Amino acid sequence: MSSSMNQEVSELCVPVPWGEIRGKSWGPDEGYPVLCLHGWADNSGSFDFLIPLLPKECRYVAMDLVGHGFSSHRAPGVPYLLSEYVADVRRVAEGLRWTKFSIMGHSMGGDIAGMFSTLYPEMVDAIVLLDIYGFNVTHPCDLATSMRQGMDEMLQFDRMMSYNHKIYTFEKAKERLLAANQGLSERSLHILLKRGLTPVEGGFVFSRDLRVNFKHMDRFSLEHCLQMQLKIQASVLIVLADSGFGTPSKQQKASELLQGYKDRNHTVATVPGDHHVHLNNPEVVAPLVSDFLQRKVISRQLPA
């Protein structure tokens, strides 16, 4: 087993046509590249406690997804679509000059990882999905309703022309984040707020674009998701939390997706914890991820 790293994190910036995508990096420049994608409304701080416990041979880059953390927001009138996030991953890969890499994604970041690996299977070595299935299944009866809701929210926002962000004290901002993510520990709250808040006169505003709260308009049925899953060529590890998506009721809804992974000899594991277990209790997740990266990435690329 590779030893974990103990070194400083570096800030990272990739220019894009509307601004920049920001993030952080760990590990040697020549290390095996691993791109880390956080969940909805989080930021790259989501991986601050997990990455130092992972193999030191890898080069980890954690993005602030567009509209989150320190990254630029999308232009007015441009929606936040899953497909656009996938294009952003491609932009970051080109900016880093990565032609093949692994992806670790939590929640929405895992859905981005799944779609990217479907569209660009030749670029992905291995995939780690943290409390997510890689595809967000929508029942066919709900497709139109969900898409319309997201579109109506976007159009209503556009008509407002401007929106004043609510100003919080740090403690009130912490309460607001905890209300939306009740499982977050005190330590986790502070690490997400480091990149999740922007200081302004009178206090702080949340740095994320308010439009990321809108209903996603990219929607796929189970049949679509199963067909996309077949396109993945990379090895896959799914780590579910028993109080997150690992609950029996949530696994039942995704049973065919999970079976699809198992049928192709991918690994599905369940650990104690909630949806943010990788952030709250990284020592529970790290051994599984470390072993997977060692077997599926590092050992396969070492000189004979």
The verdict on domain 10-138+219-301 having CATH code 1.10.630.10 is: no
- What pLDDT, on a 0 to 100 scale, did the predictor assign at position 55? 97
Q: Quick check: 263 pLDDT over 50?
A: yes
The residue assigned the tokens 């997990």 is: 50
* Domain chopping of the chain, boundaries: 10-138+219-301
Quote the pLDDT of residue 2. 45
Task: Give me the catalytic one of 71, 102, 107, 188.
Answer: 107
Give the pLDDT confidence score for residue 303 in this predicted structure.
59
Active site residue 255: no
Per-residue H/E/C for the chain: CCCECCCCCEEEEEEECCEEEEEEEECCCCCEEEEEECCCCCCHHHHCCCHHHCECCEEEEEECCCCCCCCCCCCCCCCCCHHHHHHHHHHHHHHHCCCCEEEEEECHHHHHHHHHHHHCHHHEEEEEEECCCCCCECCHHHHHHHHHHHHHHHHHHHHHCCCCCCCECHHHHHHHHHHHCCCCCHHHHHHHHHHHEEEECCEEEECCCHHHHCCCCCCECHHHHHHHHCCCCCEEEEEEECCCCCCHHHHHHCHHHHHHHHHCCCEEEEECCCCCHHHHCHHHHHHHHHHHHHHHHHHHHCCC
How many angstroms separate the first and last alpha carbons of the chain? 18
pLDDT(32) > 80: yes
> pLDDT digit string (tens) for 172-188?
999 999 999 999 999 99
pLDDT above 80 for 162: no
pLDDT-derived band at 253, boundaries 50, 70, 90: confident
Work out the percent of the chain whose per-residue pLDDT is above 70.
Answer: 96
Between the alpha carbon of residue 219 and those of residues 143, 145, 150, 261, the distances in Å are 6, 10, 11, 21
What digits encode the pLDDT tens for the residues 122-145?
999 999 999 999 999 999 999 999
Average pLDDT score over residue span 289-295: 98
Closest CA to 112 of 139, 98, 95, 93: 93
Average pLDDT, integer, range 56-81: 96
